[in-house]
Amino acid sequence: MRKSSIFSRKVLAVPYAVFLLLFVVVPLVLIIVYAFTDSDGGFTINNFTSFFSEAHNINTLLISVLIGFLNTFICLLIGYPVAMLLAKKELGFGKATVLLFVMPMWINFVLRTAATRDLLFNIGLNGGEHPYIATMIGMVYNYLPFVILPLYTTMTKLDKSLLEASYDLGANKVQTFVRTLLPMTMPGIISASTMVFMPTMSSFVISDVMGERKISLIGNSIQLYFDQGLWHMGSLVALIMLVLMSVTAFFDDSGEENARGGLW
């Protein structure tokens, strides 16, 4: 059977390659070019130095990392047990229950956040007086489904007999959890973390709505610069965030391994 040349692998890859080039590579190059040029088009590192010479910019950077980390941590803390319960076949939670947890994702997130804002106001936790707490609640609420889903998928796939083996070898519940379940679900944890950490740092709608615009994350400063037509500074901040994100993506490289993860 001769391969038809129209459907050869190379040809099939063309649409995505074009997409990748137009909407990923070109914009990326543009960002880098803009970040290191001034409005006259000449090369400069002034954007870079002026960004890091302002203490408030570094504050924004640190706060973003902090909020991103806290959000990831809290989401994992809440999401992990939920995923464990959902994955337990004996408890009889079907796919429908999982959907119930993921359903908030289906509602437009601006609407969802606006509703959360009103809800928090009514219980006295308004963003005006507690901007950080309100923002954290908004973040956790929005990103929790992104944690539950990958964890649930990893847990349903893993081999239960390994846990039984751990008990058989005399490990107690804590030991079994720390030395068997946790390493085996590590790929899920890592992919969940990257799905939460990166978007949290770059989000600006949630912090604007929930924190009554009193908190500014990196996403906010990028938006402010671009809104005011200062594309060069905006690109530089975007680039800084990009670098930060590639650092976190370093953690993700074990995602390729299968569910046995770091067990042996």
Query: Smallest distance from the beta carbon of 59 to other proteins, in angstroms?
Result: 5
* Only segment of 12-20, 56-64, 88-96, 198-206 that touches other proteins (CB under 8 A): 56-64
Based on CB atoms, which residue is closest to other proteins, 1 or 243? 243
Provide the minimum distance between the beta carbon of 32 and other proteins in the complex, in angstroms, as a whole number. 19
Tell me which residues in 108-147 interact with other proteins (CB under 8 A): 121, 126-129, 131
Enter the tokens of residue 234.
């905006």
Give me the phi and psi of 43, to 5 degrees please.
Answer: -70, 140
Would you say 145 or 211 has its CB closer to other proteins?
211
Question: How far is residue 237's CA from residue 219's CA, in Å, rounded to a whole number?
Answer: 9
How many residues lie near other proteins (CB under 8 A)?
34
Question: Looking at 77-85, 138-146, 147-155, 226-234, which segment touches other proteins (CB under 8 A)?
Answer: 226-234
Q: Find, among 137, 140, 238, the residue nearest to 196 by Cα.
A: 140
Q: Which amino acid is at 42?
A: G
Residue 151 — φ and ψ, nearest 5°?
A: -65, -45
Binding mask 143-182 for other proteins (x = CB under 8 A): ----------------------------------------
Determine phi and psi for 171, rounding to 5 degrees. Answer: -80, 145
Which amino acid, one-letter code, is at 134?
A: A
